[in-house]
Chain A
Amino acid sequence: MAKPAVVLVGADKGGVGKTTVSRALLDYFVAHNITTRAFDTETPKGTLKRFHPNITDIVDITSTSDQMKIFDTLASAEAQITVIDIRAGMLAKTLESLRNIGFLDAAAKTQLTFTVFHVLGPSIASLDEIRDTAAFMEDAHYILVKNFINNTSFFEWDPATYNSYFKKIKDAHEITIPKLNEMACEQVELASVPYVSFVANKALDGQNAAFSFVLRGYVRHWLGNVWAEFDRIKLIDLVDVAQRKSSAKQAS
């Protein structure tokens, strides 16, 4: 039987672009014909759900019943991948909970594939976050995300210090989310549609929209660069989708 795949997107600081990364990931998986479900932990009003309402549920990651809703259904869910957008400040706590319920042990025993996207902020505090998070990452794919979408400058970081943290983590990857033009970013927010729908000039209900060609062009170019980063780290191989696809074929 194919292994379930869980992708966690989080940070200990707010406003660093967790939901942006989650949205880009969902679009990426859809573009690869991979069925995906998502959980938005921004209770009670989720941001991710606004953009991907059909595949997203809002959950409280601290409640046991919602944890059951996510993790007890991993094997039975139709979706090949589960993406969880973790609320700001909850990454370390969530990882601790996952360890407590034996999820990390299951990942260690290769019963499931576990990938964490840790979105970094520009402050020096993010380096401490890496240290705290790394303790849980021995058996997961750990991906550090430098998000420049809001023209963030990681000026506080000394490269040598950053590398000393980065190199401590086994099999860690680093990706960069490039800057997106402010107006394009704002228009996608207002449109409340996935990036791919905005590029294709489609509203949430699938009807033709009237988005600016120029802004769609900027988003298309930006999304292409983000996906190139996912391709560079071989994300599809990391989440073991190839194996899952072949298993599904064999089963059918």
Chain B
Amino acid sequence: MRYALKRILLGVPTLLAMFTAIFVIIRVVPGDAAAVILGDQASATALEALRVELGLNQPLSQQYLGFLGGLLQGDLGTSLVTKRPVLEEALRVLPNTLELAAASIIVGLALGMPLGIYAAVHRNAWPDYVGRLFSLVGLSLPAFVSGILLLLAFAIQLRWFPVIGTSQGGGLRERFLGVALPALNLGIIMSAYVARVTRSSMLSTLGEDYVRTARAKGVGPSTLVLRHVLTNSLMPIITVVGLYFGTLIGNSVLTEIVFNRPGLGRLILGALNTRDYTLLQGLMIIFASFVVLANLLTDLAYAAVDPRIRTA
């Protein structure tokens, strides 16, 4: 418990640094942000009004303090286009994005770990080569490319899934069909990372003395692999899942665009197309918070798996 608290407090400066970085990047828009947003044809009064609305007429330090103060109160600003609070816009579609992320992590682990274990046990035999080739293919597929191919094959040609992933409303069946293909897309890519690290982690554990001892005293092959080797190979797998979270966010943005699924990714695309800088900034802050949260969960998972970390 003390460890958890300490770890949570450590996340605060990281979060603050990320927020500051996002603030700075958004503010380096070359030239006048108001002119960029409104275009060349805008009148002087419209430009001035927008500057006041964005707070661009204030000194930078004041803008920064206002930005941080707003964040403390959970205020991410107001969308320039819809004039609605950014947080409200994001919360409306957040369940869809979380649903997709959870489903794809399940697919990624359920597919990747058995593949990695199988490849490690059959090292340098053909299952190992097939597994490694699969991993490399997975690592080389940009998420939108695999998404488009899945969409073409299973939704457009075979018609097993709806072309547009409407997860809003509808029964459980519609919901499942809507999330299945995007989750499969993200899960397959993730399983490539998971399979690869599971394999190498298992290989190094398989070489340990205690594994030989266990084998010598007659532990059966499946118990040996699953209880003695796998449990001691979990740390790198947790690390990869934690590290992969950032990539998962990027890939889920692309996947939501391809499958036309309402979510944070689609919001980002909209913000980019309409030059809605406050929405863009707010979404980046939400994503940054997720990353810090994922890092926190990863560290807590370490502690759960390895008692030495808890007590240290």
User: Do A and B make up one complex?
Assistant: no
Residues in chain B within 8 A of chain A (CB atoms): none
